[in-house]
Structure 1
Amino acid sequence: MSPQTPRAAGAPSRTVLITGASSGLGAEYAAQLAAQGASLVLVARDTEALEALAAELRARHRIHVEVIAADLLVAADRDRVIRRLTTREQPVDTLINNAGFGLPLEFETNDIEAEARHLQLHNEVPMRLRHAALQPMLERGSGQIINVASVAAFIPRSTYSAVKQWLVTFSRWANGRYGPQGVTVTAVCPGYTHTNFHERLGLPPGEEGIPGWMWLEAPRVVSDSLRDADRGKSVSIPSFTYKVIVAVARFAPPALAARLGERGR
């Protein structure tokens, strides 16, 4: 069944694997998909947070929820997730690559090992997971891969923009390549979104230097992106505001675009 085709009444629910599922956009994807009746496989490092979220979703929606506590930068942990993606007995219909973290913009003073982990988690890890998920999806002739990128992919912003641009570029190509075979690939590019992402960078709420009109709410970002993914779009930019910002940024001189990218954290 193509991910763009509504499921018939009584059809088995789809299974969705979400990385970075314990908080932020990952937890919001889990909540909205659980409300739709999907079975979930939640992946993150924080076992306690995962188990708490899984228990809440099971109780509220009466769905099946699996938990895989894994650090995706550890090969043995990542391999457990890959094995789950490649099983034919309980196939994963949708993969959501959401795990990630941010770094300060000062590349020249950042720890280079932190930068290497940043690159690995945003590019190598989702590449490996996509590769694992694709073969069984293509064999079935249906599937959906969602890569959480950022509008930073279109606005120079240190290495964060670079890793997100890679996700967007790959998603565009892969959607054109595999979409006709029933497997769609969508890069989701939200702008500034109220989650705990900025707090994890050590920036308390209200100190990011971004005006209120530029902030999005996680439920809107997730609902818009799921709608765009179900329509088979290769790139989803939630909200009209950010669609305009991205359109303008494409024509901005590089120096100006870089200055714009310095705003906020």
Structure 2
Amino acid sequence: MPRAAYSEAMATALITGASRGLGEEFAWQLATARHDVVLVARDSDRMSEIADTIRSAAGVEVEVLQADLADPAALDRVADRLADPDRPISLLVNNAGYGLGRSILETTWEDEKAALDVLVTAPMRLSQVAAKAMVDRGHGAILNVSSIAAHLANSSYGAHKRWVLDFTQALAGQLRGTGVSATAVIPGLVRTEFHDAPDLVHMREEYPDAAWLSAEQVVASALAAVRRKAVTVTPSARYAAGAGLLHLVPKSLTRRSRSQRRG
């Protein structure tokens, strides 16, 4: 497993969506680089298993915080943990997210509102809280997980991920000179449990092997970008080239394509 590139000595990282997929990989790479980690997710049993394994294997402190980020009270608990001056967080990884896999004509308002809260409201709230605490200390980093879907115009998921990308770029500008950085990672299709969802599993067969990235590759690239204080990173030359081409394609064409539900 690649050693994490984020290297602030004895830093503590808080990772949302940490019970599987990219979130679990972030936890492992940071822990093996000797960082304490705070795991945030809905599945407390899965997180507890991961926490026990990481403690045994890496010898670091692992804290588990059960929270559904679509629940305002749960989001408040995570925000309070980020703001705690006695237990500072040096790296926030806003990773939690999911795709509905259906058009807005097929979903309910409750479906869309919950996705908006997890993919947009939570990253904004947690980034603001973390940024204020980090600026007061003069150091820290915020890493937001966007998606190649941000460059398309064919789903609410893509719109949310576009917001994450634009927000991170704006945040990076506002943090200039503070000692705190903001980075957005823009992966493409990643082989994780994300695509086990019934409305997304078909994508495993629709896209060739060459289109898929490994979680290890995405996380290592993202953490290296945090170390460089890069504002954006696309962890694949193929996807970086594709994103460049998408800027040249009229949105009227991408709107006709099948929804790119995850990246």
Calculate the TM-score normalised by the size of structure 2. Answer: 0.93
Does residue 93 of structure 2 align to residue 96 of structure 1? yes
- Alpha-carbon distance in structure 2 between the residues aligned to 1:117 and 1:127: 15
Instruction: Name the CA distance, whole Å, in 2 between partners of 1:72 and 1:42.
Output: 13
Q: How many residues align?
A: 258
**What amino acid is the match of 1:36?**
A
The 5 A counterparts of 1:43-122 are 43-122=40-119
Aligned to 1:18: 15
Q: Deviations over 1:28-47 (max 9, x none)?
A: 00010011000000000111
Root-mean-square deviation (CA), in Å?
1.8
For 2:53, give the aligned amino acid: E
TM-score scaled by length of structure 1: 0.92
Which consecutive unaligned segments of at least 5 residues does structure 2 have?
none
Deviation at 1:127, TM superposition (A): 0.8
- Pick from 121, 125, 130 the counterpart of residue 124 of structure 1: 121
Structure 1 contact 209–264 (Cα < 8 Å) conserved? no
In structure 2, what is the Cα distance between the partners aligned to 1:141 and 1:233? Answer: 18
One-letter code of the match for 1:40?
A: V
Counterpart-to-counterpart distance in 1, 2:6 and 2:124: 26
| Matching residue's letter, 2:18 | A
In 2, distance between residues paired with 1:248 and 1:261?
17
- Mapping of residues 186-205 of structure 1, within 5 Å: 186-204=183-201
Residue 41 (str. 1) matches residue 73 (str. 2): no
The answer on whether the counterparts of 1:99 and 1:122 sit within 8 Å (CA) in structure 2 is yes
Which structure 1 residue ranges, 5 or more long, are not aligned? none
- The match for 2:173 is 176
Percent identity at matched positions? Answer: 37
- C-alpha distance in 1 between matches for 2:202 and 2:137: 45
Query: Structure 1: which 4+ aligned runs deviate by more than 6 Å?
Result: none
Q: Deviations over 1:186-212 (max 9, x none)?
A: 111100000011112444476451122
CA drift of 1:228 comes to 0.9
AA aligned to 1:133 is A
Paired with 1:226 and 1:172, the residues of 2 have a C-alpha distance of 17
What residue is the counterpart of 1:244 in the other structure?
241
8 Å CA contact 2:101, 2:259 repeated in 1: no
Q: Residue 158 of structure 2 aligns with which residue?
A: 161
Residue 36 of structure 2 aligns to which amino acid in structure 1? Answer: S
Larger deviation, residues 42-51 vs 177-186 = 177-186
